[in-house]
Structure 1
Amino acid sequence: MGIPEQQFMKMTPDPSADKKTRWKEQFQKHGEMVAALVAGVLILIGWGLSIVMSGPVINILFIAAFVIGGFAKAKEGIEETIKDKTLNVELLMFLAAIGAAIIGYWLEGAVLIFIFALSGALETYTMNKSKNELSALMSLQPETARVLRNGKEESILAKDLEIGDTILVKPGELIPADGVVVKGKTSVNESAITGESMPVGKKEHEEVLASTVNLDGVVHVKVSKTNENTLFQKIITLVQNAQEEKPPAHLFIERLENAYVMVVLIGSGLMMFLPHYLFGWSWNETIYRALVLLVVASPCALVASTMPAVLSAISNGSRQGVLFKGGVHLEGLAKLSAIAFDKTGTLTIGKPEVTNIVARDGWDQDKILQIAVSIEHYSNHPLASAIIRRAKKAEIPLLEAEDIKDVPGWGIEGTVNGVRYQIGKADFVGKEAAKEFLTTTPLEAIGKTIVFVKKDREIIGALALRDIVRSDAKEAISAINAAGIDTFMLTGDSEETAREIAHEIDVKQYKAECLPDEKLEEIKKLTKKYRWVAMVGDGTNDTPALAMANVGIAMGAGTDAALETADVVIMKNDLRQIPNTIRLSKRMNRIVKQNMVFSVAVIVVLIAANFMQDLSLPLGVIGHEGSTILVIMNGLRLLRG
């Protein structure tokens, strides 16, 4: 899965590299633009001298402009023609420039080469801009790791780490692999992965991610994934795939290009003699018009209509923490009529939180929480973790608990200060007693899990817990609804919980108690009704639905299976990026259509003007190649936020 580093230039040169190597790297990065600008300067000098003098010196300057500005594109066109046995735009431009020079239009041919080289340099700039995200990511990969073997510390290449190895990570260092902290505690900067700017505390038994920064503690980490399977490496693969995959519009133009170029060559060939016999044009005029046709009918602007815009949009999304596996998926977001969301971990944070505490007369809420946390402290259940978090937040001290008995799936009991307490669900403490307590105590239980606290034979209090809705969920759903896209929630939770969550965030429809195969069937039904449907999820149980949807969207903190199956990944877990990305997709599609219509219109107008003998070669060059630059610049607008 690894990506060869030689395919991409590093963000900054190696400090130890010599001047020659640095110069070579800079030339590779800016060579096309430099060559185009040098050609432009030579043309200006030649044109200026032609006003006051004549002679071979001027032609030599134009020939130099031909060679410097056109070498890269001519070489590219010839190599592609030989390799793929297909004609291309570069070949057309090469032939047009040579033809102009043959009939004495050196300046026009040189200007054609210059503008074509400049448009190519702009397109390369767009591609490099998109690849900067990948280069920046790759610069964060640690090359070595300190591994502890046989009681000794060894330095090895990070790519050679194996599952089960224990590595030592010091403050300020990049963590070289995904793993679990087995010794020590620290805080970690995970912004490279999640986009979260605040440090995240890490202690024993908690996971850390490769290429995140260990800030202030020495930790031992047990490697849980090999280098090629880390989340960081998968992000790099996502970015690379997005850059290489071409959208349908561009693939269509590529398929058309060979046939179109052949038609232009045949048309230009026929025009070299037919108008002489049909309309009485002079041979000089006939050949001149054939060369103008060769220039203006070339589909340069049409070919450049899509990829600069797509790469700019992908680059824009990457900066916002949204990764696309290809332009086709970015293009598809604009077509969505419905979006289905998983609940747990997607619309909600995926962890239960204590929302209410009630106590029977004679008891207070802090005392109920203190008894509950003193006993639940010995449990690993997610509900116990929620109660512990609430007690820590309220700074409730623990009491000494004894004779703990955990009954998995039901509850836990123990003795505090000589008194026996039971903590758990209604069936554990007594269904009738629990029902009676709820009828006499003001506890909002709809859509929540209730944990009862029982002393001897009397229920003295209860805690209500619920998976909390993400702070950004309501805003995101509201924006999606406002865009005219129907929203759905598919969850395995109960009907009551699903109804409460759906009502809180204004999801239009929901389906409760869904198993993975049932989520899949729901996506099939939605696809039949709406045609273009997206699924948003984070868990392994969401992967069938993610794969079935027209566009699968995974949360960055989701499982590996979800990340691999999805077409789009929201790395910052910010649901508001979904409507933002839909807007970006619509904007991209709008710009691509603008470019295509504009480029075709320019070709039609220039061809018509040429047949009417109202178009000179210089104007044809400027009109045609100028349109190419304009469509590229129009696509570059998508780089803005």
Structure 2
Amino acid sequence: MSEKTTYRIQGLSCTNCAAKFEKNVQHIPGVTGTNLNFGAGKITVEGRATLEELEAAGAFDNLQLQSIDEPVVTRNSSDSFIKRHLRLIIAVILILIAFSFQIQQGENSSLATIFYLSAILIGGVSLFIEGFKDLLKLNFSMETLMTIAIIGASLIGQWAEGAVVVLLFAISEALERYSMEKARQSIRSLMDIAPKEALIRRNGQELVLPVSDIQIDDIMIVKPGQKLAMDGVIVKGHSAINQAAITGESVPIEKTVSDDVFAGTLNGEGALEVHVTKKVTDTTIAKIIHLVEEAQGEKAPSQSFVDKFAKFYTPTIIAIAGLTMVFPPLFLGEDWNTWLYQGLSLLVVGCPCSLVISTPVSIVSAIGNAAKNGVLIKGGIYLEEIGGLKAIAFDKTGTLTEGKPVVTDFITNNSAEEEHYLTIISALESLSQHPLASAIINEAKERNLDKHAVTITNFYSITGKGIKGDYEGTTYFVGSPKLFHTLAIDSSPLMASYQRYQNEGKTVMLFGDAKEILAIIAVADKVRGSSAAIIENLHQLGIKQTIMLTGDNTQTANAIGQQVGVTTIKGELMPEDKLDYIKSLKQSYENVAMIGDGINDAPALASATVGIAMGGAGEDTALETADVALMGDDLRKLPFLIKLSRKTLKIIKQNITFSLIIKLLAVLLIIPGWLTLWIAILADMGATLLVTLNGLRLMKV
């Protein structure tokens, strides 16, 4: 199997340049395959190639490469502005000198011509080299079109305009490169969140080690105010952890022994000892960065359309420019120089830069913004489809509810005995395997009741009915009405409350002895405090159907569904039933999202137009299987996600429309003969910069 190496590319600003660079790399001897990700600014090379060979392949656009494992630095950032842009500055000076001679000596000044020519050669040398190379290959790239236009302008005596075109093109390239790097920086900044070293206890010694040397099972010592360098589990201490970098939550979360913590999060006031559970390459933040960069390389439907359109657009522009040059002089007796000039101007303005950059810069900005806000989007296609959702289906447990059952009601036939009864119940349940036992034990703990103060003997589980055990000579029972029916205890003043709680969708248990029912305890999966407001918000955003899907009985499903305000409630569903329901929803509404925990809802998540997993932080399955992961286990990110998607679609449409209108206006300027080379390059440069800046607005949504 051939060796694979991934490099970051600095200065990659246009998709045409990216395609050319990838083709050049493929022709390096020893390279067997390449995969270039324009959005993330990365290239993976299969086979053998030196860094010098790769940079030589990108020399046409001054591309710089560095290994993915190195910290992100711009190697020429230490160079002064003058050194980095020396040729451009010299060209500006030469144009100013030429312009002064032109004013003093008139339009036909030979000195002005010499200085304009010098500016063209010095400022455009790299442009011409690439332009001629592409022309020989019949590859009508941006450099080819510019080279033809500048040489043509010089041949018909338009020295000043040829020099200005070189100057404006160089400025345009620099600004475009800066803007694209700014968009990519939104993700690269995530790499700097986690520290590069940590204090580790290993074999009784405390060492400061680089994260690459830290191993699973090491103990990481985290002092107050420090960032965590690795994922792990707290084994000592407690503190409030700011997880905003991972989950987007602005409020610090209380963490204690046995709680998971993540690299890149900020420790509060407490000192912690953390058992390292993942290598640095497998941490949650590392996976987020990797998945987001991969997502930026995935083409959205609108980008695929633009790429296909550009294939036909460029040859069409060249054909129209050719007709503009020859048709009026040949058939209408017009001046050759005038129409050659108009045709050359059309070649310049016809460059598809603004068109092909319009979508990638928007997708990169939006996906980067979402990641910073705790939403992981796996590709441009999902980003676009979210904006067109018409129906959203929710799993109940852990999505609309907190997924942790809690005691909601506890009533007794003797209020003075309430704490005594709850202590006995928690002692009995601590010996049980019942899934709701933890809710009762936690309730007792919150009331500071010690279940160990009660010693249960002769404990016995009665299958399908409940449990029993002896305490101080009395046998106590916890279970369903069936259990007490067998004890011939059918009536109690408490049974009216039992029925009411059942109707509310709660799981209700009876507590008593062989003579009477002493208490009723109701347990329910608590609805998230934000669920009802989020469902209402989604309806306001135009989502036609919100559906709750659950395996719970219909009574419980209806109680919770009505509480959160979904339009449709479906209970008693098996995983395959959820899958079938999602398929039927797609037939009715086309664009349908499914939101679940990413594990037991996997078939439904996969079938939906967009599968959204709750709680991606630390959940490998959710990160890998879903199209979108809400990292903070927070449904409040959903309206943000829909707004971001719709804004992205709007900006992409604006960019494409604006680019095409600029090109069309330039073509119309040919009719009265008003199109000039400097107007053409300004229009092309202006359009490219405006669509780039418009796309960057998505970083602020």
TM-score interval for Structure 1 and Structure 2 normalised by the shorter chain: 0.7 to 0.9
2:556 paired residue number: 497
Q: Provide the rounded CA distance (Å) in 2 between the counterparts of 1:399 and 1:539.
A: 38
Q: 8 Å contact 2:468–2:476 — kept in the other structure?
A: yes
Q: 2:501 aligns with which of 438, 444, 457?
A: 444
1:551 and 2:610 matched = yes
2:21 paired residue number: none
Q: Provide the rounded CA distance (Å) in 2 between the counterparts of 1:424 and 1:577.
A: 40
Q: 1:158 aligns with which of 187, 203, 211?
A: 211
2:158 paired residue number: 105
The Cα of 1:76 is off from its aligned counterpart by: 7.7
Q: 8 Å contact 1:372–1:423 — kept in the other structure?
A: yes
Q: 1:390 aligns with which of 439, 443, 451?
A: 443
Q: 2:676 aligns with which of 601, 607, 616?
A: 616
Q: Provide the rounded CA distance (Å) in 2 between the counterparts of 1:356 and 1:37.
A: 78
1:24 paired residue number: 76
Question: What is the identity, as a one-letter code, of the residue corresponding to 2:335?
Answer: S
1:637 and 2:697 matched = yes
The Cα of 1:183 is off from its aligned counterpart by: 4.6
Relative to structure 1, the CA distance from residue 87 to residue 385 in structure 2 (aligned partners, 3 Å threshold; closer, same or farther) is farther
Q: 8 Å contact 2:187–2:368 — kept in the other structure?
A: no
Q: 1:482 aligns with which of 514, 518, 540?
A: 540
Over the residues paired in the alignment, what is the CA RMSD in angstroms?
A: 3.9
The Cα of 1:313 is off from its aligned counterpart by: 2.3
Question: What is the identity, as a one-letter code, of the residue corresponding to 2:540?
Answer: A
Q: 1:601 aligns with which of 631, 649, 661?
A: 661
1:519-558 → structure 2 map (5 Å cutoff): 519-557=578-616
Name the SS for the 2:683 alignment partner: helix
Relative to structure 1, the CA distance from residue 292 to residue 218 in structure 2 (aligned partners, 3 Å threshold; closer, same or farther) is closer
Q: 8 Å contact 2:492–2:516 — kept in the other structure?
A: no
The Cα of 1:280 is off from its aligned counterpart by: 0.9
Relative to structure 1, the CA distance from residue 152 to residue 349 in structure 2 (aligned partners, 3 Å threshold; closer, same or farther) is same
Question: What is the identity, as a one-letter code, of the residue corresponding to 2:517?
Answer: I
Q: 8 Å contact 1:129–1:315 — kept in the other structure?
A: no
Q: Provide the rounded CA distance (Å) in 1 between the counterparts of 2:178 and 2:523.
A: 53
Relative to structure 1, the CA distance from residue 170 to residue 278 in structure 2 (aligned partners, 3 Å threshold; closer, same or farther) is same
Task: Write out per-residue CA displacement over residues 376-426 of structure 1, whole angstroms, 9 at most, x where no aligned residue.
Answer: 456686533333443444445656021364749875555666655334455
Q: 8 Å contact 1:495–1:512 — kept in the other structure?
A: yes
1:460 paired residue number: 518
Relative to structure 1, the CA distance from residue 192 to residue 584 in structure 2 (aligned partners, 3 Å threshold; closer, same or farther) is closer
Relative to structure 1, the CA distance from residue 203 to residue 310 in structure 2 (aligned partners, 3 Å threshold; closer, same or farther) is closer
1:561 paired residue number: 621
Relative to structure 1, the CA distance from residue 183 to residue 253 in structure 2 (aligned partners, 3 Å threshold; closer, same or farther) is same
Question: What is the identity, as a one-letter code, of the residue corresponding to 1:544?
Answer: P
Task: Write out per-residue CA displacement over residues 570-595 of structure 1, whole angstroms, 9 at most, x where no aligned residue.
Answer: 22333232222222222221222222
The Cα of 1:116 is off from its aligned counterpart by: 4.0
Relative to structure 1, the CA distance from residue 292 to residue 501 in structure 2 (aligned partners, 3 Å threshold; closer, same or farther) is same
1:180 and 2:238 matched = no
Q: 8 Å contact 2:180–2:692 — kept in the other structure?
A: no
Name the SS for the 2:233 alignment partner: strand
Deviates more, 1:150-159 or 1:623-632: 150-159
Q: 8 Å contact 1:169–1:175 — kept in the other structure?
A: no
Task: Write out per-residue CA displacement over residues 458-514 of structure 1, whole angstroms, 9 at most, x where no aligned residue.
Answer: 321122121112222112211222333211122222222211111111111132232
1:307-322 → structure 2 map (5 Å cutoff): 307-322=360-375
Identity over aligned pairs, percent:
38
Normalising to structure 1: TM-score of the pair? 0.84
Task: Write out per-residue CA displacement over residues 140-194 of structure 1, whole angstroms, 9 at most, x where no aligned residue.
Answer: 334445555555556655345555x242323244444433334554443323222
Consecutive unaligned residues of structure 1, counting only runs of 5 or more, are: 10-20
Question: What is the identity, as a one-letter code, of the residue corresponding to 2:477?
Answer: Q
2:399 paired residue number: 346
Q: Provide the rounded CA distance (Å) in 1 between the counterparts of 2:495 and 2:237.
A: 48
Consecutive unaligned residues of structure 2, counting only runs of 5 or more, are: 12-72
Task: Write out per-residue CA displacement over residues 349-402 of structure 1, whole angstroms, 9 at most, x where no aligned residue.
Answer: 111122212112454644444443455456686533333443444445656021
Relative to structure 1, the CA distance from residue 32 to residue 467 in structure 2 (aligned partners, 3 Å threshold; closer, same or farther) is farther
Q: Provide the rounded CA distance (Å) in 1 between the counterparts of 2:227 and 2:115.
A: 53
Q: 8 Å contact 1:32–1:117 — kept in the other structure?
A: no
Task: Write out per-residue CA displacement over residues 590-613 of structure 1, whole angstroms, 9 at most, x where no aligned residue.
Answer: 222222223222222321321332
Question: What is the identity, as a one-letter code, of the residue corresponding to 2:607?
Answer: M
1:472 and 2:472 matched = no
Q: 1:421 aligns with which of 473, 476, 483?
A: 476
Deviates more, 1:37-46 or 1:346-355: 37-46
2:570 paired residue number: 511
Name the SS for the 1:24 alignment partner: coil
Name the SS for the 2:358 alignment partner: coil
Relative to structure 1, the CA distance from residue 530 to residue 131 in structure 2 (aligned partners, 3 Å threshold; closer, same or farther) is same
Q: Provide the rounded CA distance (Å) in 2 between the counterparts of 1:90 and 1:39.
A: 18
1:193 and 2:252 matched = no
Q: 1:284 aligns with which of 337, 343, 353?
A: 337
